[in-house]
Structure 1
Amino acid sequence: MTKKRNPIENFLQSVCRFVSTEERAKDIRDELKDHIDSYIDEYTTDGMTIEDATSNALRQMGDPDTLSSNFKDNISGNKRLFVVGLIVSCMVIFLSINIYGYMNNIYAFSDIFICMIFLICYIPFLITLIKTYRKDIKLAKENPIFYIQSYKESAWYENILKPFKWLFIISFLLNIIVYFTELNTIPKNKILYETLETVPLLTMYLIMIIIFSCLSPKVQNNIVYPDGILTFQSFIPWNNIAGYRWVKQHSKNKVVYSIELKFKKNSSSNSFKVSSYSQFIKVSSYQMNLVDEIFKLNDIEHRQFF
């Protein structure tokens, strides 16, 4: 059985190369593996050797490139435009209310100034998403090499972001509850003032919730192209990567892996993250050898430590 494992694994990996999650890839692999084993049992019963039976079984399964197209996940770049549109809408509401409040002597100039600083902080994030969307359109004309399969378990860096995300979600909900609870007790001439105080705060919380949701790799689809890796937030050319290392951790009694990319100091890959000098991507354990091969092919050094 050892002799037939490599060609079978290569076949299954080729079929699942356009599947974006480890869980779906495993279901497909298990189903196809059952069919392959059935064919092998039939051929060996007829007197074939394991090697010949394996070759015939894989031939019987069909062309892996054709099968990979059938199982290909549909990844749309329009999600970036949706996020940009949502954040811009929140920013317009936030700015409009502050300007209205200032013109009606509800807000001071300092409030408008703080509002502008708050909005300016999000412009780099929006510009990066728009640039990535435009790059995605150009790359759509090319054939990707494979999708990097993620998994549902949370990595350590996701666990760091999660409390902040939930803090904003809870704050958002509490402010809505408090506003509608006190609405009946507020004098009519004070309702406008309270609304102008509450809505900007809600839009600020909503923007932060959207951004933290985008930063979570669970919503990201990472696609490997001949020229680099397309993530949700940026395109990373191979020549911008100085090296990479594997990060291993235990999550829910399961060993999971992430790859840390170390960027060159003059790298132009500036996605909106804590450090523009490195980035983590979750990778299925089934794809570790495949990822190693593509990095080796592009002369990127594998390191144990940074």
Structure 2
Amino acid sequence: MEEEKNNVDNFLQSVCRFVSTEERAQDIQDELRDHIDSYIDEYIHDGMNIEDATSKALKQMGDPYYLSNNFKENISNNRRIFIVGLTVSFMAILASVNIYGYINNIYTFSDIFMNLVFIILNIPIIVLLLKTHKKSKKLDTSNPVFYIQSYKTSTWYENMLKPIKWLCIFSFAINLIPDFNIFDLLSKSEIIFEYLNTITISIMYLIMIIVFYTASPKSQNNIIYPEGILTFESFIPWDKISAYRWVKEHSKNKAIYSIELKFKKKPSSYKYSLRSQLIKVSSSQINLVDEVFKSNGIDKRQCF
């Protein structure tokens, strides 16, 4: 009986290999499992044993790899370009405002220095997303092995980011409400200074909100390819990973699993990608992910 159950589970997992969230995969599997169970009951009623009935029921359902294409989610690459375009536009406006203020003696160099540092610190994110977009376009010509199914349920580090993100949004809204009562007391140059400050701070908040969005696991679509793992912000070749380990957490009385990757010491642009984040993985895919890492010669560790 256990073997038949495993055969059904493996069939359903193969059908849902191109589904990116555990919740949607569970809905599909529940529906298909009802069909399989009805076939099994029918064949057992006709005199078959459980093993033969299960085997015939799965054959009746069809090829799981063919069926998986019917449920395949279309993950667009344009989202990265949209994020890059939006961020670059905000950075260009921020730079223009500061240059305008400096040229017109509204800002001193010390006023614009931190803003320029802020822009420079965000450039690596832009470069990384562009590299990933270019790589993802190449990978479009090859077939993925499967999608890593994630959760909609938030983990502790996502919950920790929420108040910070909302603080940025609230502060951004506050900065859009200028205090017109004091403008009568200010000179023209001081009014321009206040307006430029409002624009500068608002744009910086907007960029920070975008960065929080890209860092959130909920925005990730992680795909396993024969060459490596494609995440939203980077592509990680198998030969860049030295080891991995599983991390188990609990949120809302539910166990949530994530995989943490350790990169080889050789400097690489890929090392940046997952330095401070984990890949959330459905519990039903743990064995599948273990097999993929094992086949690529990557060690499983208890701790790093």
What is the TM-score when the length of structure 1 is the normalising length? 0.93
**Does the 8 Å CA contact 1:125/1:272 hold for their aligned counterparts?**
no
Aligned equivalents of 2:77 and 2:44: distance in 1?
47
Aligned equivalents of 2:14 and 2:142: distance in 1?
18
For 1:286, the aligned partner's letter is S
What SS does the aligned partner of 2:285 have?
A: helix
RMSD of aligned alpha carbons: 1.7
Matches within 5 A, 1:1-306: 1-176=1-176, 178-179=177-178, 182-183=179-180, 186-187=183-184, 189=188, 191-266=191-266, 268-270=268-270, 272=272, 276=275, 279-306=277-304
**Does the 8 Å CA contact 1:15/1:65 hold for their aligned counterparts?**
yes
| Percent identical | 63
Q: CA deviation at 1:269?
A: 4.5
Aligned equivalents of 1:17 and 1:8: distance in 2?
14
Aligned equivalents of 1:60 and 1:186: distance in 2?
77
Aligned equivalents of 1:84 and 1:112: distance in 2?
23
Q: CA deviation at 1:137?
A: 0.5
Q: CA deviation at 1:191?
A: 4.7
Aligned equivalents of 1:172 and 1:205: distance in 2?
6
What is the TM-score when the length of structure 2 is the normalising length? 0.94
**Does the 8 Å CA contact 2:132/2:233 hold for their aligned counterparts?**
yes
Give aligned pairs, total.
Answer: 301
**Does the 8 Å CA contact 1:125/1:271 hold for their aligned counterparts?**
no
Where structure 2 has 5 or more consecutive residues not aligned to the other structure, the ranges are: none
Where structure 1 has 5 or more consecutive residues not aligned to the other structure, the ranges are: none
**Does the 8 Å CA contact 2:235/2:270 hold for their aligned counterparts?**
no
**Does the 8 Å CA contact 2:101/2:196 hold for their aligned counterparts?**
yes
What SS does the aligned partner of 2:278 have?
A: strand
Aligned equivalents of 1:106 and 1:135: distance in 2?
44
For 1:115, the aligned partner's letter is N
**Does the 8 Å CA contact 1:220/1:231 hold for their aligned counterparts?**
yes
Deviating above 6 A after TM superposition, structure 1's stretches of 4 or more consecutive aligned residues are none
